[in-house]
Structure 1
Amino acid sequence: MKNIGIYVLCVVFVSGSAIAQSDKANLTTWPKGSSPEEIGKRVADRFIATPHPNFGRPTPPKTITYPEVCAWYGALTFEKESKNKKLKQALIDRFEPFFSTEASLVPIPDHVDYTVFGSIPLELYMQTKDQKYLYMGKSIADKQWGPPEGPRVKDESHVFYKMGHTWQTRLWIDDMFMITAVQAQAYRATGDQKYIDRAAREMVMYLDSLQRPNGLFYHAPDVPFFWGRGNGWMAAGTAELLRSLPQNNPDRPRIMEGYKKMMATLLQYQAADGMWRQLIDDAESWPETSSTGMFTFAMITGVKNGWLDKEVYGAAARKGWLALITYIEPNGDIREVCEGTNKKNDRQYYLDRKRLTGDMHGQAPVLWCATALMR
């Protein structure tokens, strides 16, 4: 009887520990006011109310900027998961002037930061089946892999094109969200595998060229710093690509390897409060929200698709989400967003970057996370 009692106590203890661990990794139940439905709506509504931004400048932009595109894409995917018809119509209405009075704001797709715009009309097509969106988005995706043309063409543009890569290749880690987003969207919209295959080949080339032994990425080969948002673009882009990449794609194992290697190192550098920092491996740098949102999105997506251990990475993702949303102001703006940043081989340069509130670089990942949690 004594042994039976001990056995029962052990079972209860082990079961209790398992439940406690499972709660830490729970990605479906949230404290009041912190659910993806509530947070996503606040941030999406804020997006609708915000005029076209211009990297913090008071003047309107000459063309739609990539941070707005990323937030717009996030709002559209959130709206799809939440089935919010009012939000859907508002997002359609915001786009409609690009066919008339705001046509000049549509970026010329001759650079990765401009070509990513195509992900919006492709999403609108998938949700509405209106052919005008498909025509616009598909033509942008096609031009990315077309022959080099325009004033941005460089000598290396022709080299990359002849290798079967996009002539817009720069080997900047930002590209692996900008390129994969529009090409993955073209695949989802058309079912034509050439789009996802070309994105996968591009991703492998970037991984082979830029990923460091620890799985992270320097901001540039001559700038040996693990800048948060730069790595965030790669983390989010890899997860977004893998989400739609067919299982039989020959490049999938290599991309999954690079993704998992990155996630494992990010896990080590998540702070106790759930945040990641402006310089990932620098404990003296400040907690930064855009990178935290991107890393959290990548981990949520990995857990939801079974690529990452649910208990380990689910706990990190939950902690990341609950930390991230504490930086959201009552009006839906998120604080502590690193301003747009060029490369510089100077640690202090990164530590001194302005910390913005409401910048679309930070708004977008919150919406991506909300969507991923609801999928």
Structure 2
Amino acid sequence: MLKRPITLLLILTTLGGGLLSSCQTSSRIARSTGIAQGFTPDSIFRLMQKTARWQLDSIRNKGWRHPARDWTNGALYPGLLAYASIAGDSTYYHFLKEEVGDKYDWKIVDGRARYFADNYCVGQMYCDLYAVYRDPAMIADLKLLADTLIARPHTEPLDWKNSVQLREWAWCDALFMGPPPLAMLANVTGERRYMDLVDSLWWKTTAYLYDPAEHLYFRDGSFLHKKEKNGQKMFWSRGNGWVMGGLVRVLENMPEHYPTRSRWVKLYRDMAARIASLQQPDGTWHASLLDPASYPVKETSGSGFYCYALAWGINHGLLDAKAYAPVVWKAWAALVSCLHPDGMLGYVQRIGGAPDQVSYDNTEVYGVGAFLLSGGELYRMAGGEPRKK
């Protein structure tokens, strides 16, 4: 397993988007495409800074929109850490450590919903901060949960009934909630069995929800035969965005010579090609991927994760920059157009489980997380280097 560096200085340059991963330099094509559109490392950094500060100030001044360990915030934290890693700003590390980790003793929720993937999404942040502080208490409960997951049979069908989501990854957005913290746990502990668990359960979900003809995931079993108004299959943008976000976060923590890595890479490339083909003229992906006309307004919580995942692939040499950089920079320009002057991100579809309408004034923490993760990868594509505060 890859080991994360121990010192805070090195961690600040590696967390939240793999800024100093094995692929050290951005493609010349990718960089020049961004520069041609007026995006520079400094301009990207300033946009990330404004958005991250707005979000942190909102939590401090108005309180949490959702419980601190909720899945919504679990998707926010990687974005905040992506910004912190570029900015060299320990403020965000200290805030998450004190106001989330220490406050809740680094626990995953107990009770009937303990094995609900939403409730261990926060484990991504626990692993990131463990890599900074090296305090075993930070991942102790996540490790206990992972050990229990390994011991469970996972033989139950994924049909959307009998609260199956409390036991299995039976809906597509679970692939951002559950696999990344377990893959990160495998990375920081060096214990392959956690990656083997991710591998086994990911492909179980994929066998049920992935449409190999469309290269997209249905949201859950109840969507397998649903149709949009135009007669197309119903594929939710945010759900598939979160699948791609989960894919790259697993790949980032997976050893290069892991036995099934090539299978993961093929899935990623197949989805990337399909998603790129579905980008709308406004640069985003609308709430319904195959019926954008029924949801004509841009949407940022799905688009942010597509932008992040595609940029990550360029930066790691898995996608051709000539083909994908224009898609990524167009998406970034669209995301930036959704920012309010004070840094609030708009056009974020509200909490739900299917395509829905959205407006400029709709914001949510998970959309901010996706925006900041995108910014981290694009900063790198533009040739930016980690800063010192």
Instruction: Tell me the residue number matched to 1:218.
Output: 218
Q: CA deviation at 1:69?
A: 1.2
Greater shift, 109-118 or 81-90, is seen at 81-90
Q: Does 1:261 align with 2:260?
A: no
After superposition, residues 223-238 of structure 1 pair within 5 angstroms as 223=226, 224-238=233-247
Give the TM-score normalised by structure 1.
0.78
Greater shift, 79-88 or 253-262, is seen at 79-88
The 1-side partners of 2:276 and 2:127 are apart by: 33
Q: Does 1:324 align with 2:326?
A: no
Give the TM-score normalised by structure 2.
0.75
Q: CA deviation at 1:98?
A: 1.9
Instruction: Tell me the residue number matched to 2:136.
Output: 131
After superposition, residues 192-211 of structure 1 pair within 5 angstroms as 192-211=191-210
Instruction: Tell me the residue number matched to 1:365.
Output: 370
Instruction: Tell me the residue number matched to 2:109.
Output: 107
Instruction: Tell me the residue number matched to 2:303.
Output: 292
Q: Secondary structure at the match of 2:290?
A: coil
The 1-side partners of 2:155 and 2:309 are apart by: 34
Q: Percent identity?
A: 20
Q: Which runs of 5+ in 1 are unaligned?
A: 1-18, 149-153, 160-165, 344-349
> Is the 2:117–2:178 Cα contact (8 Å) retained in structure 1?
yes
> Is the 2:55–2:344 Cα contact (8 Å) retained in structure 1?
no
Q: CA deviation at 1:25?
A: 5.5
Instruction: Tell me the residue number matched to 1:273.
Output: 282
Q: Which amino acid aligns with 2:91?
A: K
The 1-side partners of 2:55 and 2:242 are apart by: 20
The 2-side partners of 1:171 and 1:306 are apart by: 31
After superposition, residues 44-123 of structure 1 pair within 5 angstroms as 44-51=52-59, 61=66, 64-99=69-104, 107-108=109-110, 109-123=114-128
Q: CA deviation at 1:64?
A: 2.7
> Is the 1:119–1:137 Cα contact (8 Å) retained in structure 2?
no
Q: Which amino acid aligns with 1:241?
A: V
Q: Which runs of 5+ in 2 are unaligned?
A: 1-27, 160-164, 227-232, 381-389
The 2-side partners of 1:332 and 1:318 are apart by: 19
Taking a change above 3 Å as real, the CA distance of residues 327 and 60 of structure 1, as seen in their structure-2 partners, is closer
The 2-side partners of 1:53 and 1:197 are apart by: 42
Taking a change above 3 Å as real, the CA distance of residues 305 and 131 of structure 1, as seen in their structure-2 partners, is same
> Is the 2:48–2:375 Cα contact (8 Å) retained in structure 1?
yes
Q: Which amino acid aligns with 2:215?
A: G
The 1-side partners of 2:88 and 2:168 are apart by: 36
Higher RCO structure (Cα 8 Å, ≥6 apart): 2
> Is the 1:34–1:325 Cα contact (8 Å) retained in structure 2?
no
Taking a change above 3 Å as real, the CA distance of residues 351 and 85 of structure 1, as seen in their structure-2 partners, is closer
Q: 1:95-119: per-residue Cα shift (whole Å, max 9, x none)?
A: 255247xx8x953332110021222
Q: CA deviation at 1:59?
A: 9.1
> Is the 2:108–2:141 Cα contact (8 Å) retained in structure 1?
no
Greater shift, 301-310 or 70-79, is seen at 70-79
Q: Secondary structure at the match of 1:156?
A: coil
Q: Does 1:310 align with 2:321?
A: yes
Greater shift, 215-224 or 120-129, is seen at 215-224
The 2-side partners of 1:96 and 1:116 are apart by: 13
Taking a change above 3 Å as real, the CA distance of residues 96 and 180 of structure 1, as seen in their structure-2 partners, is closer
Instruction: Tell me the residue number matched to 2:49.
Output: 41
Q: 1:269-304: per-residue Cα shift (whole Å, max 9, x none)?
A: 112232111111223122111111010111011101
Q: 1:5-25: per-residue Cα shift (whole Å, max 9, x none)?
A: xxxxxxxxxxxxxx9987326
Greater shift, 357-366 or 296-305, is seen at 357-366
The 2-side partners of 1:233 and 1:183 are apart by: 16
Q: CA deviation at 1:180?
A: 1.3
Larger radius of gyration: 1
The 1-side partners of 2:225 and 2:192 are apart by: 36
Q: Secondary structure at the match of 2:308?
A: helix
The 1-side partners of 2:47 and 2:31 are apart by: 23
Q: CA deviation at 1:184?
A: 1.6
The 2-side partners of 1:20 and 1:124 are apart by: 34
Q: CA deviation at 1:264?
A: 0.7
The 1-side partners of 2:352 and 2:360 are apart by: 11
Q: Secondary structure at the match of 1:339?
A: coil
Instruction: Tell me the residue number matched to 1:250.
Output: 259
Following superposition, which runs of at least 4 residues in structure 1 exceed 6 angstroms of deviation?
Answer: 19-22
Q: CA deviation at 1:374?
A: 4.2
Q: CA deviation at 1:338?
A: 0.9
Taking a change above 3 Å as real, the CA distance of residues 207 and 274 of structure 1, as seen in their structure-2 partners, is same
Q: CA deviation at 1:195?
A: 1.6
